[in-house]
Amino acid sequence: MEKFTQLTGVAAPLPMINVDTDKIIPKQYLKTIGRKGLGKGLFDEMRYRPDGSENPDFVLNKPAYRNAKILIAGENFGCGSSREHAPWALLDFGIRCVIAPSFADIFYNNCFKNGLLPIALPQEDVDKLMDDAQRGANAIITIDLEKQEITGPDGGCIRFEIDPFRKHCLLNGLDDIGLTMQKSAAIEAFEAKRRQAQPWL
pLDDT at 74: 98
Chain segment 76-116, per-residue pLDDT in tens? 999 998 889 999 999 999 999 999 999 999 999 999 999 99
For residue 65, the model assigns a pLDDT of 97
At 102, the amino acid letter reads S
Identify the weakest region by mean pLDDT among 25-34, 45-54, 123-132: 25-34
Q: Which domains does the chain have, with CATH numbers?
A: 6-175 (3.20.19.10)
User: Please, which pLDDT band fits residue 192 given cuts at 50, 70 and 90?
Assistant: low
Give me the pLDDT at residue 180, please: 57
